[in-house]
Amino acid sequence: MNLRSRCASTVALLAFLATVQPLDAGLPIAVDGQKLPTLADMVDRVIPGVVNIATTGHVNVPDHPLLNDPLFQRFFDVPANRGKRQKASKSLGSGVVVDAKAGYILTNQHVIDKADVINVTLRDGNTMQAKLIGVDKETDVAVIQVPSKGLKALPFGDSDALRVGDFVVAMGNPFGLGQTVTSGIVSALGRKGLGKGFEDFIQTDASINPGNSGGALVDLSGKLVGINTAILSPGGGKGNVGIGFAIPINMARQVMGQLIEHGQVRRGFFGAQAQNLTPELAKAFGITGNSGAVITRVVINSAAFQAGLRPGDVIIEAHGKPVRSASDLHNVVGLAKVGQSIPMKLIRDRKELELSVVMANPEAEKIKGEKIDPRLKGAIFGIDTEEGEKTQIKVVKVTPNSSAWEAGLRDDDRILSVNKQPVLDFPALAKAVRSDERQMLLNIERGEEKFFVLVR
């Protein structure tokens, strides 16, 4: 290349570089005449419907064990019935306006748990006190209500239509900073194993941090698809590592409707337990694939029994949704109302069948203790299937100072056996009690403890 050619090339290069913007000049507003995508317009529409929630309450402070020792109380003249010590507690979280006219706000149960006062702050800074409508601990859903003035509700989306890879936006009040917006994608669907009663979580990498609980997870059109509820942080930390969970809005709406109507969730009684269909079980039953829930036990005269379900049936679909595991079946029947009919598809003896289960009233599945034995008067027993693992006899309520109370029974006790005989339903309970008229040896589970109580 001669000198003239080199000069021409240098001039051309300098002319090109003169047109290149510096790297720190920021992104251009358009490329080839097309505006860059932005979520700003959607966020402007949606964020007024996301509120900040601040609660105040009181929690019990545990006493030193010595203060509950009768000898210590007598020696140091410590009153036995001195009452529990309490301290003030505060909590910060988020909520979503779902009905502007009625003033209803969806949030998490753990956000307003044990709250004496619930204050809601809107986007414009207006703060008002909220009324508690109802909570459901099993799904971690709560509904509160505020005056309707100045509210803007979010439109509902369809969480069943979500797919892994869909873009979503999380809105809430992380760390008490105020309304904050983060974006990401749906990382997984149907997540379970977080220790909740009913689990079908949306997993997202949109940053969810403490304070985001109860906030909105929306799609790119601004429709509400989930309620942010939990994070997974290794080592017990509180920061986000890209694994957050939200309650699907279709599940939250089911619960919300009952909370608004009844103040609580009135779940129907199913009356059967199930386990996952493993490859080994599928082979034994002659079933192709290993997706389903195997019925292992059916309570006599329960809703499942009346519908025709029997041990060994493999449920593959319930209420129009595929049943991949026992947890899937638990979610469907556990969220169903009393009297609701749930169509099911199942495989029995290598043939596909269809039937419908009409959920029973759980009140019909209770019995007074005196109907079993006078020594159990004052206790009300029920069938416990809430955890979905196994059916047990549960003490629903015990009247203080009654015969059952004096025998040592307390609310929420689970009766594992009577006179060394397992009891899984009322007939078995009555039979075990009658097996020894002289005494009643109860094996009780209370919390994480198991012990025996002898009733004479």
Given phi > 0 = left and psi -120 to 50 = alpha, else beta, which region is 277?
A: beta
Instruction: Give the SS3 label for residue 194.
Output: coil
Query: Two tokens at 104?
Result: 């209803």
Instruction: Output the pLDDT for position 59.
Output: 61
Q: Which amino acid is at 41?
A: D
CA distance 362 to 383: 8
Q: What is the per-residue pLDDT for 77?
A: 66
Q: Check whether 213 has a pLDDT greater than 80.
A: yes
Sequence-ordered strand ranges (E) for 173-309: 180-191, 201-204, 216-219, 224-231, 244-248, 272-276, 293-298
Q: Which residue has the higher pLDDT, 181 or 236?
A: 181
Annotated catalytic residue: which of 99, 110, 113, 148? 110
Which position among 213, 325, 327, 417 bears the catalytic label? 213
Round to whole Å and give the CA distance between 343 and 186.
Answer: 30
User: What are 338-358's pLDDT values in tens digits?
Assistant: 889 999 999 999 999 999 999
pLDDT at 16 > cutoff 50: no
Task: Indicate if 140 belongs to the active site.
Answer: yes
What is the distance between the alpha carbons of residues 355 and 332, in angstroms, rounded to a whole number? 15
443 pLDDT more than 80:
yes
381: tokens are 């027993």
Q: Is position 110 annotated as part of the catalytic site?
A: yes
Active-site residue 213, yes or no? yes
The predicted model gives 169-196 an average pLDDT of: 84
At 406 the three-state DSSP class reads helix
Q: Which residue is listed with tokens 């929630």?
A: 53
At 122, list the tokens.
């809107």
Stronger pLDDT, 424 or 73, i.e. the higher one: 424
| 112 within 8 A of 172, measured Cβ to Cβ | no
Angle, vertex CA 393, rays to CA 387 and CA 398, nearest 5: 110
Does residue 328 or residue 234 have the better pLDDT?
Answer: 328
Give the C-alpha distances (Å, rounded to integers) separating 275 from 200, 272, 290, 294.
Answer: 17, 11, 12, 5
Question: What pLDDT, on a 0 to 100 scale, did the predictor assign at position 14?
Answer: 40
Strand 314-318 relative to strand 272-276, pairing: unpaired
- State the sign of the Cα–Cα–Cα–Cα dihedral 382, 383, 388, 391: positive
Please compute the mean of the pLDDT values over residues 293-322 and round it to a whole number. Answer: 90
User: Phi/psi at 271 (nearest 5 deg)?
Assistant: 90, 25
- Written as one string, the DSSP assignment of 280-346 is HHHHHHT-SSS-SEEEEEE-TTSHHHHHT--TT-EEEEETTEE--SHHHHHHHHHTPBTT-EEEEEE
Residue 238: the pLDDT is 60
Look up residue 240 and give its two tokens.
């986000």
Q: What SS3 state is found at 46? A: helix
Q: What is the mean pLDDT of residues 84-107?
A: 85
- Give the per-residue pLDDT at 90: 74
Please, what are the domains in the chain? 50-59+89-265 (2.40.10.120), 272-358 (2.30.42.10), 363-455 (2.30.42.10)
Q: How far apart are CA 379 and CA 405, in angstroms?
A: 8
Task: List, for residues 261-301, the tens digit of each pLDDT value.
Answer: 988 888 888 888 899 999 999 988 888 888 899 999 887 77
Q: Which stretch of 65-69, 301-305, 423-427 has the lowest confidence by average pLDDT?
A: 65-69
Tracing tokens 């942080």 back to the chain, one arrives at 233
Q: Which of 140, 200, 219, 384 is labelled catalytic?
A: 140
Instruction: Write out the two tokens for 196.
Output: 């909740």
pLDDT band at 392 (very low <50, low <70, confident <90, very high): confident
Alpha-carbon distance values, 56 to 53, 117, 263 (Å)? 10, 5, 22
107-135 pLDDT, tens digit per residue, is 999 999 888 899 999 988 899 999 999 99
